[in-house]
């Protein structure tokens, strides 16, 4: 996102224009008028990453324009980042600039912040990291009260831990999440809370059990578990499965089963195409759950045809999408069996063309 597009004063008008553009993607489909959820115009990004540019004694955070990928643009302020990132950036840069061992061949800096107040910084180098680096990095982390990780080729040094503990208030209850470095998390915490509460508002009117595909670290799983008898949540990435299992235990949630299957494998399991050993820990066969509702939160490619066909067997479909175009493609297939009864737009990514969507479908 070019920083020249960041215009907080005109954010409402920019959001209106983007919302109209996104709605045009669904032309030809019967869609209700969307609820539009705005982002804070500044301070909304919980993570950020920058290349580090060395020029004599100077050291700067930089970004690059797509049309000039070799020309660094120094970043002196980054108003879209969470205030804790904004406050840390100049202090960290000065320390890195003035400490030779921490500066030498430093290539990139990544920030992961939280609403809970924890901060994780990853320093990435084009050289092996030494015990001297580790000593200076520990002193830096202690002085700045941050978690710190060093990375280089085939090397990762975790000084304390490689995750942060986040706390999201959802409908008056705090939910605690372990978020791993380089694991997927929603970048805009405030809009993420609104997305979860939107899903929970619908779930409160439903019954039976829930199947969730692409559950990640349990972002939706934890709050939604309060509204269903049981939840079967699937995820393929090992780090996300580990995080989700920890988060269930941390929040004392006992009616969720995590299974490590891809969406395609879940479709095969639902159709009894073949058995899966990874389902052996379930308290009863998958076919014996009262699965009336499915929640899908797929990657930008959307649902593959096999998974799209599988979810058509559910009474209700909660679909969270980060790509309106692939969502529209999927809805054209789902339109044969389901109708859209609610539609929401969540501005996870202000000042870009990206928009998160939420759709509730019911069987016709």
The residues annotated as belonging to the active site are 322, 356
Residue 113 β-bridge partners: 119
C-alpha 38: how far from chain center: 17
Tokens 């969720």 locate to 256
Residues 38 and 111: their CA atoms lie apart, in Å, by 24
**CB 310 within 8 Å of CB 271:** yes
| Residue with token string 């200076």 | 136
DSSP 45: B
346: β partners: 37, 356
- Cα distances (angstroms) measured from residue 295 to each of 220, 233, 344, 353: 9, 9, 15, 25
Helices (H), ranges, 237-304: 238-250, 263-270
Q: Are 30 and 364 in contact (CB under 8 A)?
A: no
- What is the dihedral angle through the alpha carbons of 330, 336, 340, 346, rounded to the nearest 10 degrees? 0
Angle between helices 83-98 and 131-144 (to 10 degrees): 140
């Amino acid at each position: 996102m070019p920083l020249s597009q960041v215009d907080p004063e005109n954010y409402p008008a920019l959001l209106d224009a983007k919302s109209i553009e996104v709605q045009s993607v669904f032309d030809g489909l019967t869609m209700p008028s969307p609820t539009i959820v705005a982002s804070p115009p500044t301070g909304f990004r919980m993570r950020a990453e920058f290349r580090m540019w060395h020029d004599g004694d100077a050291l700067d955070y930089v970004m690059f324009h797509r049309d000039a990928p070799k020309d660094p643009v120094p970043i002196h302020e980054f108003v879209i980042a969470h205030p804790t990132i904004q406050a840390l950036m100049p202090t960290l840069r000065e320390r890195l600039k003035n400490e030779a061992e921490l500066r030498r061949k430093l290539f990139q800096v990544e920030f992961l912040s939280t609403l809970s107040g924890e901060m994780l910084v990853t320093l990435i180098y084009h050289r092996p990291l030494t015990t001297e680096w580790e000593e200076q990095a520990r002193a830096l982390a202690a002085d700045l009260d941050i978690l710190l990780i060093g990375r280089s080729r085939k090397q990762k040094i975790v000084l304390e831990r490689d995750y942060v503990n986040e706390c999201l208030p959802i409908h008056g209850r705090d939910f605690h999440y372990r978020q791993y470095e380089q694991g997927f998390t929603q970048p805009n915490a405030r809009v993420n809370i609104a997305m979860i509460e939107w899903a929970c508002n619908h779930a409160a009117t439903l019954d039976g059990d829930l199947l969730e595909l692409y559950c990640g670290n349990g972002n939706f799983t934890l709050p939604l578990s309060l509204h269903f008898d049981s939840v079967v949540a699937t995820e393929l990435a090992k780090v996300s499965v580990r995080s989700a299992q920890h988060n269930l235990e941390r929040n004392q949630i006992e009616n969720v089963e995590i299974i490590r299957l891809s969406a395609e494998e879940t479709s095969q399991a639902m159709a009894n195409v073949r058995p899966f050993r990874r389902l052996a820990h379930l308290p009863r066969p998958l076919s014996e759950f009262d699965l009336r509702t499915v929640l899908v939160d797929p990657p930008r490619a959307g649902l593959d045809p096999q998974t799209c066909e599988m979810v058509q067997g559910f009474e209700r479909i909660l679909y969270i999408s980060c790509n309106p175009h692939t969502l529209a493609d999927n809805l054209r297939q789902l339109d044969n069996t389901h109708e859209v009864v609610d539609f929401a737009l969540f501005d996870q990514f202000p000042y870009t063309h990206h928009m998160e969507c939420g759709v509730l479908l019911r069987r016709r």
